[in-house]
Amino acid sequence: MPIPSTILIIGASRGLGHAMAAAFLEKGWTIVGTVREGGRRTLLHDLADEFAGRVEIETVDICAPDQVAALRDRLSGRMFEILFVNAGTTNNPAETIADVTTDEFVRVMVTNALSPMRVIESLEHCVATTGTIGVMSSGQGSVSNNETGMREVYRGSKAALNMFMRSFAARHAGSARAMVLMAPGWVRTELGGPDGRLSIEESVPKLVNVLLSQQGTPGLQYLDYLGRTVPW
Ligand SMILES: NC(=O)c1ccc[n+]([C@@H]2O[C@H](COP(=O)([O-])OP(=O)(O)OC[C@H]3O[C@@H](n4cnc5c(N)ncnc54)[C@H](OP(=O)(O)O)[C@@H]3O)[C@@H](O)[C@H]2O)c1
């Protein structure tokens, strides 16, 4: 029996991250998925019951550097085919940069831009040399496509994430790893809200196939759930 491939998904308790875990399990992968501390039962725990022996649950709050460091220590010696950082947040979408409080701005920026990069910097040594590092960005992170405004702070945070990932990729030019910023489409989750264009089922299985299609292709791509390049 071949050894199953393993993906580490950061932020797999619900929404898109949980659906990604389910999709990878359906494809025969094993999962290490993270939830936040507190002992709350999550949808990932249900998957662990359903796919006994193929789901490991870890804990981390990506905004707590001590927890990220502790996760790195606990995972030392492990090797993953894919590291995918899904965790993210939003603020009130109607709040403009003129309205937002400094605390709220910092919360969104730290969660969506700084913390995913901290996780990648801390855990990249656990990714196989020909493996994949993925991050959940958003179409809203595209500077070129922003002709309508709205979701200003969120857009800024994902654009910043994209820029930090480009810097990471530049620092690792010559690496054989695939690096992918994913745009899942507007999906009906707690974050996306009820008006999203897509159901989770319409986005995530395709997104997972796009992510898998990048394996073995070095360099950074910014792709949507249909595999189309998103203009930076
Ligand atoms: N839905 C959309 O339309 C859409 C579109 C573009 C991009 N995205 C991106 O997709 C990702 C997932 O979004 P979603 O729609 O699935 O949202 P969601 O249902 O609100 O889920 C957010 C996930 O992120 C985790 N998370 C948030 N802050 C965290 C932190 N500080 N540390 C660790 N985990 C944290 C949550 O964990 P808890 O359960 O512990 O809170 C949860 O697992 C985000 O990066 C989001 O920006 C979503």
> The domain containing residue 139 runs over which residues?
6-224
**Is 1 part of any domain?**
no
Return the sign of the alpha-carbon dihedral for residues 110, 131, 142, 208.
negative
- At 3 the pLDDT is 74
Domain tally for the chain? Answer: 1
The pLDDT tens digits of the residues spanning 140-161 come to 999 999 999 999 999 999 999 9
Residue 29 lies in a domain: yes
Look at residue 167 and tell me if it is in a domain. yes
Smallest CA separation from ligand 1 atom 32, residue: 61
Q: What is the CATH number of the domain that holds 168?
A: 3.40.50.720
Atom of ligand 1 at shortest range from CA of 11: 43
Q: What are phi and psi of 42, to 5 degrees?
A: -125, 175
Q: Which atom of ligand 1 is nearest to the CA of 115?
A: 31
Residue 104 within any structural domain of the chain = yes
Q: Whose CA is nearest to atom 26 of ligand 1?
A: 87
Could you report the per-residue pLDDT of 12-25, keeping only the tens digit for each?
Answer: 999 999 999 999 99
**C-beta of 131 in contact with ligand 1 (< 6 A):** no
pLDDT of residue 4: 77
Q: Per-residue pLDDT for 1 more than 60?
A: no
Q: What is the CA radius of gyration of the chain?
A: 17
| Region 125-140 average pLDDT | 98
Residue 28 Cα to ligand 1 midpoint, Å, equals 24
Residue 92 lies in a domain: yes
Distance 87 CA to ligand 1 centre (A): 4
H helices present in 28-174, as ranges: 43-50, 65-74, 102-109, 115-123, 152-171
Digit-coded pLDDT (tens) for 168-193: 999 999 999 999 999 999 999 999 99
3-state DSSP call for residue 173? coil
User: Mean of the pLDDT values across residues 210-220?
Assistant: 97
Q: What is residue 64's DSSP assignment?
A: -
Report the distance separating Cα 162 and Cα 158, nearest Å. 6
CA-CA distance, 93 to 65, in Å (whole number)? 27
Would 90 be classed as within a structural domain? yes
The pLDDT of residue 92 is 94
Using the predicted structure, report yes or no on whether residue 218 has a pLDDT greater than 80. Answer: yes
Q: Report yes or no on 182 lying in a domain.
A: yes
Report if residue 50 sits inside a domain: yes
Pocket test of ligand 1: the residue of 142, 154, 189 to mutate, having most ligand atoms within 8 Å of its CB, is: 189
